Structure 1
Amino acid sequence: METNERRSALAMLLALPVGVAALSGSAAAAPRKAGAADRLDRLASHQEITDILNQYARGWDRLDEEALRGCFWPEAQHQHGGFKGLSQDFITKAFPMVAKVKGTRHSISNIFIEIEGDRAFAECYFAATHRRMNAAGTDEEDYFLSGRYLDRLERRGGVWKIAMRRGLNEFERVEPRADVSLAKADPEQLGRRKPEDPYYTMLAAFRAGK
């Protein structure tokens, strides 16, 4: 009886490494949870990409060419409306056209971002208002355009920028000017473009410690 017990105990000991190995294999096969550093990197990347999307909108509204070009890598591809080519060329072509209208207002929303290492895919909605002269040249009108931006982004040297953009237009409307108080407001009360807009003077003062 004692011999049988020793044999059973030996068999259990011999089987133990096999069981441990099996458990180790299961653990290795299980997906690895992202560590704190990975989660922090993804959170920071998400914010940096969001900043780029907003910078593009602000760049058009303030007619800030430097801000616009800074959103894209030099070889970034661009397709929006009837344009298909380099993003830098899109800015070159559209800049004087936007400069002719009295003002614009672009808003970004519904942002979705998926990140894989140094690559990312983003979708966002845009809504743009353009104050311009009507076709007859008799008064101003508002042209509304909204749609989505689909972007592929890359991080190079720790910096995120757009490597490819596809703009999709989904809604437009034209309405006569309907200003009430703003039509007669003092220019000091209204937004302007670079470099006259108070954003640039106040930012410069802030950076100077004032």
Structure 2
Amino acid sequence: MTTEDRLAALEAKMQEVEDRQAIFDCIKRNSRGNDRFDVDLVTSSYHADGIHELGQKEISGREYGEHANTAHGRLFDANLHNVTMHMCEIDGDVAHAESYSLGIFLDQGGETGRILAGRYIDRLEKRDGEWRIALRRATVEIALEGKATLPNGAALPGSGYLRGNRDRTDPSYERPLAAGTGGRW
């Protein structure tokens, strides 16, 4: 194998690694945007003509962030979307990804909560050098609900733990991150 062949193979492998990371970052950006009520972050994970299939509805990617904020804000005091196992097949500028997800939701009032487990089944496309979601189909395969208490039996409100915010005042946006700041439960 010539030096040129080895360099070409290395460049191709590096491009695949970069593409995989960009795809996973896009999927995680969507979840973070949902939890922080950051519409711009959610919207940035979809192409302008992207679609989010939610149940039997199809919502444009441009509208999904606002839709999710309204639904989550009406029903829950907090929500966390966790992306776990992730697989991705890349074919040129099109990728198909399957990402397992856990949505954890604290109901209004903080006494009960629920967990929804499912998958994001995505077709992503690389346009103008950027990977974004062209189509997302979300499954729900397990739904659990129960009391929302800490291991000591106490409720989260009043626990003193740092509380996340559903906007850019969330501690994750703080730069530089400093101790002793942020709201508490």
Question: TM-score band (shorter)?
Answer: 0.7 to 0.9
In the superposition, relative to structure 1, how do residues 75 and 104 fare at CA in structure 2: closer, same or farther (>3 Å)? same
Q: Are 2:32 and 1:55 aligned? A: no
- The runs of 4+ residues in structure 1 deviating greater than 3 Å are none
CA distance in 2, matches of 1:93, 1:203: 31
| CA deviation after TM superposition for structure 1 residue 204, in Å | 9.0
Across the aligned residues of Structure 1 and Structure 2, the Cα RMSD in angstroms comes to: 2.1
In the superposition, relative to structure 1, how do residues 203 and 156 fare at CA in structure 2: closer, same or farther (>3 Å)? farther
Please tell me whether Structure 1 or Structure 2 has the larger radius of gyration of its CA atoms.
1
Q: Are 2:83 and 1:89 aligned? A: no
Q: 1:91-131: CA deviations, max 9, x gaps?
A: 33222111232100111011001111111110000001111
Correspondence for 2:168:
195
Q: 1:1-49: CA deviations, max 9, x gaps?
A: xxxxxxxxxxxxxxxxxxxxxxxxxxxxxxxxx7111110000000010
**Mapping of 1:100-111 within 5 angstroms?**
100=74, 101-111=76-86
State the TM-score, normalized to the length of structure 2: 0.82
* Paired residue type of 1:107: N
State the TM-score, normalized to the length of structure 1: 0.73
Structure number having the greater helix percentage: 1
Correspondence for 1:65:
39
Gaps of 5+ in 1: 1-33, 206-210
CA distance in 2, matches of 1:85, 1:61: 18
* Residues 194, 200 of structure 1: 8 Å contact kept: no
Between the two proteins, the alignment pairs up a number of residues equal to 167
Q: Are 2:143 and 1:168 aligned? A: no
Correspondence for 1:140:
111
